[in-house]
Amino acid sequence: MSWTCPRRTTLLLLFTLAAACGSARRGEPIIGEKRVPDDTIAVGQQVFDRNCAQCHPGGERGLGVALNDKPLPAWYIRFQIRNGLGAMPSFSSEQISGGELKAVARYVVWLRDQGD
């Protein structure tokens, strides 16, 4: 059986639905202490908490959707931060620089993986 495109898209959406059934909680009291592995992700953590956490506290659902249970790739995270979508506003390069953008996308992916 070959993996046809519609099937892959459907699978991705099914994965997302399945992942959404899992917990998005990544706080230290719940999963234990998780130290950020490098300086770039540490920068990403600061950028995230200053800009993103107010709507996605700890990457969980709040005003906005949860991030920790979505298999979004880093490139798409960067795209959505720059362009916004739906209720989410866009962040210009004056608000989040190019380096910070890469760092925060890496942090979001790293944070998500801490639940594994």
Partner 1 sequence: MTIPAEGICQSSRAARRPARDGRHQPGERRVFRRATTLMAPVILGVALSGCFTLLPSRGGGQTRFVAPRTIHVADIALPAGYRIEPAATGLDLPTGVAFDEQGRPYVTEAGYSYGGVFTTPRLLRVQPDGTTAVIAAGSDPPWNGVTFSGGAFYIAAAGHREGGRVVRVGMDGTISPLIDGLPSLGDHHTNGPVIGPDGWLYFGQGTATNAGVVGVDNFRFGWVPRHPGFHDIPCRDVKLAGKNFTTPNPLTPDEGDRAVTGAYVPFGTATRARQTIPGEIPCSGAILRIRPEGGEAEVVAWGLRNPFGLAWSPAGELYVTENAYDVRGSRPVWGTGDVLWKIEPGRWYGWPDYHAGRLLGDADWYRAPGAEAPGYLLAEHPGIPPQPAAVLGVHSSSNGLDISRSAVFGHVGEAFIAQFGDMAPGVGKTLAPVGYKVVRVHPETGVIHDFAVNRGGRNGPASWLESGGLERPVAARFSPDGSALYVVDFGVMTIGEQGPEPRLGTGVLWKITRDGGGAP
Q: What is the C-alpha to C-alpha distance for residues 3 and 7, in angstroms, rounded to an integer?
A: 6
Closest CA to 112 of 81, 66, 54: 66
Q: Binding to partner 1 (CB under 8 A): which residues in 27-86?
A: 27-30, 32-33, 45-46, 49-51, 53-55, 57-58, 60-66, 68-74, 76, 79-80, 84-86
Contact of 88 with 80, CB cutoff 8 Å: yes
Q: Which of 13, 93, 98, 99 binds partner 1 (CB under 8 A)?
A: 13
Distance in Å, CB of 48 to partner 1, minimum: 9
Q: Which of 16, 93, 97, 98 binds partner 1 (CB under 8 A)?
A: 16
For partner 1, the closer of residues 63 and 97 by Cβ is: 63
Backbone torsion region of residue 107, taken as left when φ is above 0, otherwise alpha when ψ lies between -120 and 50, otherwise beta: alpha
What angle do the packed helices 98-113 and 39-51 form, to 10 degrees? 90
Q: Is 73 exposed, middle or buried (0-12, 13-18, 19+ CB in 10 A)?
A: exposed
Q: Which residues bind partner 1 (CB under 8 A)?
A: 2-6, 8-9, 11-13, 15-16, 18-19, 21-23, 25, 27-30, 32-33, 45-46, 49-51, 53-55, 57-58, 60-66, 68-74, 76, 79-80, 84-90, 109, 112-113, 115-116
